[in-house]
Chains A and B, each alone.
Chain A
Amino acid sequence: MKNFKLLAVASALACATGLTSQVSADVGVADIVGDQASTGDIVSYGLGPRGQRYSPLSMINKENIKNLFPVWSFSFGGEKQRGQESQPLIKDGVMYVTGSYSRMWAIDIATGEELWQYDARLPEGILPCCDVVNRGAAILGDKVFFGTLDAKIVALDAKTGKVVWRKKIADFEAGYSYTAAPLIVPTEAHGPLILTGNSGGEFGVVGEVQARNPETGDLVWTRPVIEGHAGTLNGKETSITGGAANTSWPGDMWKNGGGAPWLGGTYDPDTKLAFFGTGNPAPWNSYLRPGDNKWTSSRVAINPENGEIEWGFQTTPHDGWDYDGVNEFVSFDMEKDGKMIKAGATADRNGFFYILDRTNGDFISATPFVKNITWAKGIDENGRPIWDPENRPGNPAESADGKKGKSIFAVPSFLGGKNWMPMAYSQDTNLFYIPSNEWGMDIWNEPVTYKKGAAYLGAGFTIKPIFDDYIGSLKAVDPTTGDIKWEYKNKAPLWGGVLTTGGGLVFTGTPEGFLKAFDEETGEELWKFQTGTGIVSSPITWEQDGEQYLTIVTGWGGAVPLWGGEVAKFVSYLNQGGSVWTFKIPEQLAGK
């Protein structure tokens, strides 16, 4: 009996010491800004706030990738699986990873053992449109932060997983939710701020970016992205977005105008701007809202000091195809015609790859990165689409019974030439690696009126593959020309993020369950590993104790199986899961 008790005391103490020995230094905002260069940790979504998803590490490279093997696998457990879109964070030997249904874990990287788990107590009646995913956490000081499906943001003690504060971003009963990774940015006026967008694009919500004090969770500023709505700073009203209502919206339509910035944002330390993409306008039926409908389907650059929009660029004005403009805006410096340009790149749902001047939003170029685009004939010299009127769904008011407009076939489908899954930019090849999909859709419009908490679409649709043998397509794109340097074709649609490294490798996962590595120059597949369930998340790599580690979260789900249409035959056999796989080159094979 005494021996038993001794053992119990020993294991309790071992747990405690495991924690104290590993969480040693708090994360500062300078660590986040400089995250890309510091390879020993990952303290931001995107491996640095610019979101390049490039690591200079080269210990794992083209020569030795064949020796990459799993170190451990960690199961999220429980009955709750569904899509796992999370990018983990790494700090002092601890991995912080979020999962479906608003859960989060801290894992001891040395052993793969759980340090703590937090499960948000979600209310009944949450309304996530496109699966119960979460894309990752933020870390600052002694806290980790993530958003929950009931549109709240939670701060947890990084050592214990206990809730420090929890704040409401928006009303989940009106259709709001939250799935993106929060963004932490430095400011002179307020110190570090934690920035969030909101989700709920199909429920007539109003997109808004919010900035909070990470210590307390108190709001510092808010910025609705839809014209006509006023922002706030320190609780007082500031400017009206777009100057005034009804500049690019008719009547009251701006009041439920959509534009949810549901994928969060990136931050550029050079220009000190935060870039958020905005979702589709509501409703989908564009005849109910003539005008450009600003700032839906756009990129907006926000000054974190006061929440003011410095510039906006609309990729799909007057959207009629659900081409959200949320996709990440990645800052990079581009040499073109002998000049260095402070550029930013974004691969839009609408199938075009845009390069903008990130200092002022000026349009530089747009080139197609998927095949057979039909909704527009091209992008003009000002960055506006040259619409093909034949390929906008017809006005239901012009139909015989007024109930259904003419159906058209549009490419890309509403799930986009590229969806949420983040691309990567290599500082070695100066290429972007874009996870894309080749598909179109039949789409038609219907009358609709706004009702709180109900889907606000006014459209019907079905997705169709363009090619018989593949949908997914990973492409290497030269931002100076738009040329596609190489392409990897995948049968199922790609839904996971990309990572590129100083080792000359490009990593991404497939719904078929493989984590794959490609040669950054040629696209040759150099390595793959079967994880047992579909991959729809973003890989990371870091250095610990002199070795390079690689991690991917696995678990099939996301929007594809929910909305798939004819795509179902490419994916219906895929099984769910929920785990973390961590890889390195075993000691016995190092140097071989």
Chain B
Amino acid sequence: MINRTIKRIIAAAALVIISQVSTAGASSLPQDPLNSVMWENLAGRFFPGEIVIDQRVRVSAPHDAEDQMQVPITIDATDLDNVVEIVAIADLNPIPHILTLHPTRAQAFIGFRVKLEQASPIRVGVKTSDGVWHVNGVIVNAAGGGCTAPALAHGLDNWYKTLGQTRAITRRETADAARLSLRMRHPMDTGLAPGIPVFYLNTIEVTSPNGDELAKIEMFEPVSENPTLTLKPLVNDNISELLVYARDTEANEFRFSLPVSDTIDN
């Protein structure tokens, strides 16, 4: 009991320091171009440190979502150099964090689909190696209910038999970059639909045949059912194959390889 109290006191001291730092950060927050009520809260949570609003972070999304369960988003930050991390959030989703991309040896680019609970900013922070967050985003109008509705898989009584089934295509888009698109069967349950536990793909890694990490994605509940992803891994002449590894929150693991042609095809 005494030990615990001491630890709590130490933790409390650390807390004060952290709070002061983040308070200082908050005071220098740039104004949110999307004018979101969540900006101050989310900026501190997801983009700790220096933040600049940067139009070089290009976020493409429909102005009005036709299907709030499958809203296509494309993030292109290839105009920035030395990108280490890309964080995508939906401000007004009950679970805001959509995904984080680590483009270790890949272009700063990702396409995916997201569930939206209501009209929301899609906000993207791109962290460069100097620690600065380059933030931009768009607002998507949507009808309600994307995150709290059951996945379509729940109409099927054998969804677990097709779990992880994947369709994918790669091509060499430029001399040194491939375009990889894949779609995996997975219900991506948010845990917010009544009686259905949380269950989603949370890790996707793309490596070269010799095991070098090209890109890693941490995914969260808002990514759409049967995730559709597009990445642009860097592939030099020696890489003729991409290895993909995926794991979900129940430790189901999926592995497959995709050939990359020698010739450029764009």
> Measuring CB to CB, which residues of chain A are less than 8 angstroms from any residue of chain B?
1-2, 4-6, 8-10, 13-14, 16-17, 20-22, 78-80, 93, 119-121, 123-125, 154, 162-166, 545
Contact = CB atoms under 8 A, between A and B. Distances in A.
Size class of the contact patch on chain B: 20 to 34
24 contacts: A2-B23, A4-B41, A5-B26, A5-B40, A9-B19, A9-B22, A10-B15, A10-B19, A13-B11, A16-B11, A17-B7, A17-B8, A17-B11, A80-B195, A93-B4, A119-B191, A120-B250, A121-B189, A121-B198, A121-B199, A124-B158, A124-B159, A166-B250, A166-B252
Nearest to B10: A17
Interface in B179-209: 189, 191, 194-195, 197-199
Contact of B251 (A4, A79, A166): A166
B197 A119 contact: yes
Contacts of A13: 11, 14-15, 18
Nearest to A79: B195
B195 A163 contact: no
A400 to B, nearest CB: 42
Nearest to B45: A8
B40 A9 contact: no
A164 B249 CA distance: 9
A6 B23 CA distance: 8
Contacts of B199: 121
A154 B248 CA distance: 13
B250 A9 contact: no
Interface of B: 1, 3-4, 7-8, 11, 14-15, 18-19, 22-23, 26, 40-41, 44, 157-160, 189, 191, 194-195, 197-199, 249-252
A123 B159 CA distance: 8
Contacts of B157: 124-125
A10 B14 CA distance: 10
A20 B18 CA distance: 18
A152 to B, nearest CB: 9
A167 to B, nearest CB: 9
A164 B251 CA distance: 7
B26 A22 contact: no
Contacts of A80: 195
Contacts of B7: 17, 20-21
A1 B40 contact: yes
B19 A6 contact: yes
B250 A121 contact: yes
Contacts of A545: 1
A545 B4 CA distance: 11
Nearest to B37: A1
B156 to A, nearest CB: 8
Contacts, number: 74
Contacts of A154: 250-251
Contacts of B250: 120-121, 154, 163, 166
Nearest to B16: A10
B26 A78 contact: no
A315 B7 CA distance: 55
B249 A162 contact: yes
Contacts of B19: 6, 9-10
Say what secondary structure dominates the interface of chain B.
helix
Contacts of A21: 3-4, 7-8, 11
B251 A165 contact: yes
* Central interface residue in A8, A14, A21, A165, by most chain B CB within 10 Å: A21
A121 B44 CA distance: 33
A567 to B, nearest CB: 30
A7 to B, nearest CB: 10
Contacts of B249: 121, 162-163
Q: Ordered nearest first, which 4 A-B pairs have the shortest CB separation?
A: A119-B197, A17-B11, A121-B199, A123-B160
Nearest to A156: B251
Nearest to A78: B195
Nearest to A123: B160
A21 B3 CA distance: 8
Nearest to B199: A121
A5 B41 CA distance: 6
A9 B197 contact: no
Contact of A5 (B14, B22, B160): B22
Given A8-B41, A13-B18, A120-B250, 19 more contacts: A2-B23, A2-B26, A5-B40, A5-B41, A6-B19, A13-B14, A14-B11, A17-B7, A17-B8, A20-B11, A78-B195, A79-B194, A120-B197, A121-B249, A124-B157, A125-B157, A154-B250, A163-B250, A165-B251
A9 B48 CA distance: 12
B20 to A, nearest CB: 10
A166 B247 CA distance: 12
A5 B44 contact: yes
Contacts of A8: 41
A384 to B, nearest CB: 46
Nearest to B247: A163
A564 to B, nearest CB: 26
Contacts of A164: 251
Contacts of A78: 195
A542 B159 CA distance: 43
Contacts of A14: 11, 15
A562 B15 CA distance: 53
A121 B1 contact: no
A223 B15 CA distance: 53
B49 to A, nearest CB: 15
Nearest to B187: A121
B207 to A, nearest CB: 21
A124 to B, nearest CB: 4
B10 to A, nearest CB: 9
A22 B4 contact: yes
* Central interface residue in A4, A13, A545, by most chain B CB within 10 Å: A13
A10 B1 CA distance: 22
Contacts of A124: 157-160
Contacts of A20: 7, 11
A119 B198 contact: yes
A9 B158 contact: no
A98 to B, nearest CB: 14
A123 B158 CA distance: 8
B9 to A, nearest CB: 10
A39 to B, nearest CB: 16
Contacts of A22: 4
Nearest to A166: B251
Contacts of B15: 9-10, 13-14
B126 to A, nearest CB: 23
A163 to B, nearest CB: 4
A135 B67 CA distance: 43
A166 B163 CA distance: 15
Nearest to A150: B160
* Central interface residue in A5, A20, A78, by most chain B CB within 10 Å: A5
